[in-house]
Chain A
């Protein structure tokens, strides 16, 4: 079974802190994604990566950055956390390349509260 793990289920941080959310997948997937989930808004794509050290902005990248130094690991960074970044963060991964269905597999999520 594909496994996507996230470093924390719950996290509480103070405004202005630098926050790291870690995601690891064990299926040798090329693609990795970070989504933000808010009630009534569904999931929105923050950033994704299609290879080591490669990244692209999603729909709502402002206030976030990412790092992918190894294929299995994708980090989301909040440089200076703000209260409007309080949310559920979901990591996902998938294969890349034409001809593949590229279904995304999700981690359990990290509920981040910024006070």
Chain B
């Protein structure tokens, strides 16, 4: 079974600065997907960024980027120019690339609470 570990229960950053959230995972599979989800205080979980394991290039979405280290099984999220609206719980998630059945469920880390200091 796969596991996802987020070692930082809480992080705090000054507005406009850069912050990196850590995520490591354990799997015996070679093909999989990794995600970062954001859950603001309103509770709607939304996708921030995704990474396909077979792609070596790190994914980027505007101010959000990842550092994907497949050999180290590490998938960190970097938020540049932090904004007050970035304050939320951030979850790292893993999904197997196998089609159908149990492979479609996400395995989540326990989350990192990100605080933005004005």
Number of interface residues of B (CB under 8 A): 27
In the assembled complex, the Cα of A33 lies from the Cα of B108 at a distance in Å of 13
A76 within 8 A of B: no
Q: Is the pair B95, A102 in contact by a Cβ cutoff of 8 Å?
A: yes
In the assembled complex, the Cα of A103 lies from the Cα of B110 at a distance in Å of 19
With contacts defined as CB atoms under 8 Å apart, how many contacts are there between chain A and chain B in the complex?
65
Contacts of B106 in A (CB 8 A): 33, 43, 45, 92, 104
Contacts of B95 in A (CB 8 A): 102
Bitwise interface map of A from 31 to 56 toward B, beta carbon under 8 Å scored 1, else 0: 10101000011111100101000001
**Beta-carbon nearest neighbor of B92 in chain A:** A42
In the assembled complex, the Cα of A67 lies from the Cα of B42 at a distance in Å of 27
In the assembled complex, the Cα of A25 lies from the Cα of B48 at a distance in Å of 20
**Beta-carbon nearest neighbor of A97 in chain B:** B99
* Known contacts A42-B111, A43-B91, A96 near B100 by CB under 8 Å: yes
Contacts of A98 in B (CB 8 A): 99
In the assembled complex, the Cα of A45 lies from the Cα of B101 at a distance in Å of 13
Q: Is the pair A42, B108 in contact by a Cβ cutoff of 8 Å?
A: yes
Contacts of B99 in A (CB 8 A): 96-98
In the assembled complex, the Cα of A104 lies from the Cα of B110 at a distance in Å of 18
B64 within 8 A of A: no
B30 within 8 A of A: no
A94 within 8 A of B: yes
In the assembled complex, the Cα of A71 lies from the Cα of B33 at a distance in Å of 25
Q: Is the pair B45, A48 in contact by a Cβ cutoff of 8 Å?
A: no
Residues on B close to A: CB < 8 A? 6, 9, 33, 35, 37, 42-47, 50, 52, 91, 95, 99-102, 104-111
19 A-B pairs in the complex with CB atoms less than 8 angstroms apart: A31-B104, A33-B104, A33-B106, A41-B110, A42-B91, A42-B109, A44-B108, A48-B104, A50-B104, A58-B102, A88-B43, A94-B104, A101-B33, A102-B95, A102-B104, A104-B47, A105-B47, A107-B44, A109-B45
